[in-house]
């Protein structure tokens, strides 16, 4: 058995006096698609942002591919890493945001080539070639020269996925990737994510799309109040939930 891609142990996080994560334990295997579901304020987005240290965890640990994220252990203490060391760790972890966060002053192509050229030191020609291939893969080969403002929300989100893939990550994090989209544009983004999952990408997806979770996820995790309420195969968690909280949440969203 190969080592898991993500291991979270006892992760806690507080904003001021509010404890938003109260000890999260989660393991994601290589090639696994893990969907985090739960009501807003349950801490699922915060947990996702801890995985690439956009939020610092206050206790516990997260490792990605065996490497501890954001901290170095010396004895019993975890020392936070410098920004540039964290930047190196983040190269291998792609992230897709609810609000896309494309760079508006760059074309779709430039959005996708920026990090490979500046961070991975890829040649401009190689980066462009790779970017064209990635834009083709998300179905936007003919939109390379468009600025984000000229693209629909669904197209922007697909460019954002291509931008993250350009760093050739081992792990992809999706933070409610379809929540800011008009209903008729959700499908095109989910299709791209389905394709990624089929290609064996390890993915953690915070989503409200129960249908997507049931169809694509290997593991569904239901969170509420900063804890994991239940986790397991989607057909168990989503169709035969063992906990009342899960049942009442699913009754509301379905």
Partner 1 sequence: MSLVPSVSGTPAAMPTAPDVPHEQLRTVPMRHRGRWAAAAVALVAGGGTLWSLAKNPNLDWPTVGAYLFHETVFSGLVTTLWLTAAAMAIGLAGGTVVAVLRLSANPVLSTLAGLFVWFFRSTPILVQIIFWGFLGALYPNLMLGIPFTDITFYSASTSAVITPTVAALLALGLNEVAYAAEIIRGGIQSIDPGQAEAAHSLGMKPGLTLRRVVLPQAMRVIVPPMGNETVTMLKTTALVSVIAGHDLMSNIQDVYAQNYKVIPLLVVAALWYLLLVSLLSVPQGWLERRYGRGSASAAGPSALRRLLTVRAARPGGPRTHTRIRKGNKA
Q: How far apart are the C-alpha atoms of 165 and 163, rounded to whole Å?
A: 6
CA dihedral over 71, 73, 74, 78, signed as positive or negative: positive
Using alpha carbons, list the distances in angstroms from residue 44 to 18, 39, 114, 207.
15, 9, 29, 9
Contact 112, 159 (CB under 8 A): yes
Q: How far apart are the C-alpha atoms of 187 and 42, rounded to whole Å?
A: 25
Q: Does 94 bind partner 1 (CB under 8 A)?
A: yes
Cβ distance to partner 1 smaller for residue 79 or 235: 79
Residues from 150 through 179 that contact partner 1 (CB under 8 A): 150, 160, 163-164, 167
Cβ distance to partner 1 smaller for residue 141 or 242: 141
Q: Does 132 bind partner 1 (CB under 8 A)?
A: no
Q: Does 45 bind partner 1 (CB under 8 A)?
A: no
User: How many C-beta atoms surround the C-beta of residue 4 within 10 A?
Assistant: 17
Half-sphere exposure (Cβ direction) of 225: Cα atoms closer than 13 Å: 5
67-68 vs 59-64, strand pairing mode: antiparallel
3-class SS letters over 187-252: HHHHHHHHHHHHCCCEEEEECCCHHHHHHHCCEEEEEECCEEEEEECHHHHCCCCCCHHHHHHHHH
Query: Which one of residues 90, 143, 158, 245 is an interface residue with partner 1 (CB under 8 A)?
Result: 90
Least separation in angstroms between CB 107 and partner 1:
8
Q: Does 148 bind partner 1 (CB under 8 A)?
A: yes
Cβ distance to partner 1 smaller for residue 25 or 85: 85
Q: Total residues contacting partner 1 (rule CB under 8 A)?
A: 33
Least separation in angstroms between CB 238 and partner 1:
29
Query: Which one of residues 74, 84, 121, 252 is an interface residue with partner 1 (CB under 8 A)?
Result: 84
Q: Does 91 bind partner 1 (CB under 8 A)?
A: yes
Contact 85, 48 (CB under 8 A): no
Contact 69, 88 (CB under 8 A): no
Cβ distance to partner 1 smaller for residue 44 or 53: 53
Query: Which one of residues 87, 126, 198, 253 is an interface residue with partner 1 (CB under 8 A)?
Result: 87
Least separation in angstroms between CB 202 and partner 1:
16
Binding site for partner 1 (CB under 8 A): 52, 54, 83-84, 87-88, 90-91, 93-95, 97, 99, 101-107, 114-115, 118-119, 145, 147-150, 160, 163-164, 167
């Amino acid at each position: 058995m190969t080592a898991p891609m993500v291991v979270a142990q006892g992760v806690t996080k507080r904003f001021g006096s509010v404890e938003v994560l109260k000890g999260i334990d989660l393991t994601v295997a290589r090639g696994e698609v893990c969907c985090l579901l739960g009501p807003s304020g349950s801490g699922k987005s915060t947990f996702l942002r801890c995985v690439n240290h956009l939020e610092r965890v206050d206790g516990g640990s997260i490792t990605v591919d065996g490497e501890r994220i954001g901290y170095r252990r010396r004895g019993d203490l975890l020392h936070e890493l410098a920004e540039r060391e964290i930047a190196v760790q983040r190269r291998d972890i792609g992230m897709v945001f609810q609000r896309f966060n494309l760079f508006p002053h760059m074309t779709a192509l430039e959005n996708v080539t920026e990090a490979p050229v500046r961070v991975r030191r890829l040649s401009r020609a190689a980066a462009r070639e790779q970017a064209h291939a990635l834009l083709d893969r998300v179905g936007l080969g003919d939109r390379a020269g468009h600025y984000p403002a000229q693209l629909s929300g669904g197209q922007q989100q697909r460019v954002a996925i291509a931008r993250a893939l350009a760093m050739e990550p081992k792990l992809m994090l999706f933070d409610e990737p379809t929540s800011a989209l008009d209903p008729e544009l959700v499908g095109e983004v989910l299709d791209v994510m389905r394709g990624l999952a089929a290609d064996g990408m390890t993915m953690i997806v915070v989503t409200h799309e129960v249908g997507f979770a049931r169809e694509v996820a290997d593991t569904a995790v239901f969170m509420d109040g900063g804890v994991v309420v239940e986790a397991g195969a989607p057909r168990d968690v989503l169709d035969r939930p063992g906990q009342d909280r899960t049942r009442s949440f699913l009754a509301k969203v379905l």
